[in-house]
Structure 1
Amino acid sequence: MIKKLLFLFLILSGINNYYATINTGKNDEFFCDTLAPTNVQVGNITLSSATVSWTLDPNTPNYILRYRPVGLFSWLSTSLQTNSLGSYTLTGLMPCTSYEVQVSKVCNGAGSFSASVVFTTALDYCTSASVDSNVTYISSVTVTPVVFSQMVSNSGTSNYTDYRPDPNRKVYLLLGSANNMISVSKSWFGTPGNVSVRAWIDFNADGIFSATELVLSSTSNSSPTAAAMFAVPPFAFQTGTNCAVSMRVIISEASTSPVCGTFTYGEVEDYGVYLLQNSNLSTNETAKRNEINIYPNPVSDVLNISGLSEENDFEIYNAIGQKVSSGKISDRKVNVSQLLKGVYFIQINDKGKLDKIKFIKK
């Protein structure tokens, strides 16, 4: 009898230990699910990187992240083993390009991928504006590069204006060039008072207007114009012709007004600056090439092309180099409504010179 009771005790003890093992085995793939990760987001976006984050499943340490330029068929994938952060930073991305990204758990094989999250590689700058622009404002900004065409921006009053999307207010600068000039005209609604003008260019493309990137800094005075000469560092970020860093111009009642945030009296204007390396082009060729611009970008239906004096031939290629459209530019417009969403290049034959410009069909 004692032997039978002991045998029964051992059996029951083994069953209890078995269930205890199951209940505490949280990291075993038997307990994870194949549902798609939730709360997939993309942040810290720069010209060449972005951080993808998601909600971690405590039972699933391994994930697969895949991404690609919008419109491209093939995925690029990354396997994340024992990832406990719930985030991953993509690097080596193409500037000013729209990407889609998805995340999947690795659970008893492959799990379901999350819905695509689309982002565009670009610089995200801090906001800045005045509270009251009815005292003093910026009436004109002129940038005169040593190589490229002059940019003149005349304007009225506002607390903040973003001129970066405006194709007629783009600033082109040559890497390593000196003796570039910036001039800012000040205006008042009443008697001119003492105001300060400052301007920064984000030469290193880190999304921050730092003290070393200050290209104009005037003391507080009532002079109608503030001007300065500036140089472009030879190792500044090379943007190409379809990406831009920002130039921020501020007129304010004090030279200590913040570059980010709000201040009382004045105005803020932002401009797109293209930092180029054009050692193979003459001054005239470079200036002419910079006159050809496309907008809007991204585009839905009609692509406008400025800087053309006559009708020209065009060809459109997709991201893998296949020609998908061609014809003549009519009234400086090209209809792209038939294109699928994705990244494309339009090649314009301008009197024997080929200009190839990237755009995004949304």
Structure 2
Amino acid sequence: MKQLYILATILILSINNLNAQSITISDNGGCFSNMILNIAGTFNGKNFYNNPGTGVSLYWDSIDNKWKTDAASATPGNNAFIIWFSSVNTPLNPPDLAYGSWTDDSGFCGALTQMEGSGTDNGSVLNITDENLKSSKLKIHPNPTSDFINITGKEENDTYNVYNSIGKKIFTGEFTINTPIDVKILKNGLYFLKFKSGAVIKFLKNKDNYFQKSTTWLLHFARAFFYIQSLGSS
């Protein structure tokens, strides 16, 4: 029985270790070099990370709408000494250095040179339950589409990712106001377009676009009908 208990304990610890998420940060000012922050819970609906030994935490501030790195408190939300922040509203984890822009807020440690690890969001997978999908005021048309989509309500240029229905990133592009987005390469199906600023909208790709074809055929039929009618009355 004792051996079984020990085996079960080892198994649980192994599973927890497999699920553990961590973030490694470094800067060019000499404050942090390969500092590891481990997942410590949730805060404001997103994961937060800390290193209790050094009193550093990384968390989402829902009031300022920013990810913040606090160098003076391992407890999230204290805002004791914010070193860096990012306004990229990722669904669950902070963006890595390649995916999100991190701003030096203190001028003390210099720029981030490393923000990576299993606890960061690299934009490759979309959380389809993202609340931004519900709150987005952007409009997309035509929807369904066969070749191009147009975005209205977007007032600035931005970078975007297109994801399929299971959240896998298909491609990345640059959005320019009043310029259609080419989606001809996509297969038929449901897709999500997420801007780097956070907004998410969904659209349906239908290569055959039966609705448009049906409308076109109905229009041709109506024209032919009225043309025949005009011949009979003349």
Larger relative strand fraction: 1
**TM-score of the superposed pair, with normalisation by structure 1:** 0.21
